[in-house]
Structure 1
């Protein structure tokens, strides 16, 4: 019998199976919908403030869910340093993503943001054992880079759109750094729920503290904006 999801550290697999592929497709659909939600929410809230509210509400929901399931929050002293760094990456990821979606389109933001596997593969090649890039993988990465470069060259013009594209790329780099921390440090022995709790806790504090630096916190939010905030936390 295989491991039960959520009952401890995941078993590592070198090849993706049908369940993993289906899960990735479903997860990608949810992420894409999430970007649309962010775009709508940014119309009523400052982007960084909206990200901070998201982290606060998501942390409350997560802790309530963990309590209901009897899952203990892991706060081992030896994990504090890596967990804080992971929280910083998480914070940077969402500062960049929410600002990107305020400046550029969802389609372009998604194109840039989901280059994350490319950057992670490059980082892992140098930093993780058993993750060396083969000639075929390098060819795939080269094509991915060419596609991103082409999108930047022929896409929307204007300083705001370019800054938005670059912010989405920065979000991808932070996301890759976060994933690397989860794989390359002692955090890999921590339950996924506790990892996420750390990320949300650190980002909730930092995002709310930084929000006033990025303009007005409120942009005349209406019912739909409060509604997408509720959707986003789930």
Structure 2
């Protein structure tokens, strides 16, 4: 495939992004469902480690060199650290909040990218309308977050899970910015993903062992299926596609487009986990969507 960076999202990018958004929305539901049988850190670490092995096997089969010196080590280690922190927040947070709420807060990430990208690429500087989209999204998330205080549904610690979702969004945005600002922007998608999965997998499993988190006593068919979905379909296939797109398309537009994921996450949470979707959360999601449109709007070309 060509290494030329495109200036807009073409049909291939849009279809690929919609597929990724669907899978990522389902991923939150799968992670939440698996927590009844495996601890959050073991779950996050295991899926990263197994997916890293799959990426290595894929690269070997295609003759892609993952360990050659190309100046990407520093950026790769940082990206891997941020990636691991993101998923530690997500999986731990899911113990306190619903998958539906978590998926909304995580997707504050596009706006983190939108704020940071102008410092990396002047061509992705925001105009006034895009800034208004950021402000609208921030207000929407803050409004949805306030619902987590003083809950009458028997979950007084929901705000903790929501807060970890917001923190995860910051780490995800930081990962995307690290990729674009470092030598990873010139590395292949396989190497970019391998750094993140390998570093995060080792770190999360070590954290699980040091914290004394219990290993599953029995691996049921249900648990195996949930882990395989997260590992093979999400962490390997969809992330490989995502990081290829980060190299070839504008990061701000890619990241903002992923706000379609909360829609899939809300539907999946309601249909598969019987989670309650409040009016405030729906309105916040609509406001996030409007913010997406504003941030993703291409500036008009100035007349010559």
- Change over 3 Å in CA distance of 1:214–1:28 after alignment to 2: farther
> What CA distance in whole angstroms lies between the structure 2 residues aligned with 1:159 and 1:91?
27
- What is the CA deviation profile of residues 37-63 of structure 1, one whole-angstrom value per residue up to 9, with x for unaligned ones? 111121111101111111111111111
Offset, 1:214: 4.6
| Runs (5+) with no aligned partner, structure 2 | 233-304
- Change over 3 Å in CA distance of 1:28–1:95 after alignment to 2: same
> What CA distance in whole angstroms lies between the structure 2 residues aligned with 1:14 and 1:82?
24
Alignment partner of 1:103: what SS? coil
Residue in 1 that maps onto 2:280: none
Retained in 1: the 8 A contact 2:148–2:156? Answer: no
1:181 aligns with 2:178: yes
Alignment partner of 2:213: what SS? coil
Indicate the larger mover: 118-127 or 164-173: 118-127
> What CA distance in whole angstroms lies between the structure 1 residues aligned with 2:76 and 2:39?
27
> What CA distance in whole angstroms lies between the structure 1 residues aligned with 2:61 and 2:216?
36
- What is the CA deviation profile of residues 77-128 of structure 1, one whole-angstrom value per residue up to 9, with x for unaligned ones? 6221111111111111111111122221011100000111011111113343
Among candidates 156, 161, 186, match of residue 158 of structure 2 = 161
Q: Which runs of structure 1 show a deviation greater than 6 angstroms over 4 or more consecutive aligned residues?
A: none
Residue in 2 that maps onto 1:16: 9
Residue in 2 that maps onto 1:36: 29
Residue in 1 that maps onto 2:122: 129
Offset, 1:26: 1.3
Offset, 1:154: 2.6
Alignment partner of 1:43: what SS? coil
Retained in 2: the 8 A contact 1:92–1:171? Answer: yes
Offset, 1:19: 2.3
> What CA distance in whole angstroms lies between the structure 1 residues aligned with 2:214 and 2:45?
10
- What is the CA deviation profile of residues 130-179 of structure 1, one whole-angstrom value per residue up to 9, with x for unaligned ones? 22110010111111111101101234625421111111111111111111
Retained in 1: the 8 A contact 2:120–2:180? Answer: no
| Runs (5+) with no aligned partner, structure 1 | none
> What CA distance in whole angstroms lies between the structure 2 residues aligned with 1:106 and 1:199?
23
Computed over aligned residues only, the root mean square deviation of the Cα atoms, in angstroms, reads: 1.8
TM-score normalised to the size of structure 1?
0.90
Task: Tell me the number of residue pairs that the alignment of Structure 1 and Structure 2 aligns.
Answer: 227
1:115 aligns with 2:113: no
Alignment partner of 1:57: what SS? helix
Residue in 2 that maps onto 1:78: 71
> What CA distance in whole angstroms lies between the structure 1 residues aligned with 2:156 and 2:106?
18
Retained in 2: the 8 A contact 1:43–1:219? Answer: no
Offset, 1:215: 5.1
> What CA distance in whole angstroms lies between the structure 1 residues aligned with 2:92 and 2:186?
33
Residue in 2 that maps onto 1:146: 139
> What CA distance in whole angstroms lies between the structure 1 residues aligned with 2:206 and 2:147?
37
Residue in 1 that maps onto 2:198: 201
Retained in 1: the 8 A contact 2:148–2:162? Answer: no
Alignment partner of 1:208: what SS? helix
Retained in 2: the 8 A contact 1:124–1:180? Answer: yes
> What CA distance in whole angstroms lies between the structure 2 residues aligned with 1:128 and 1:159?
43
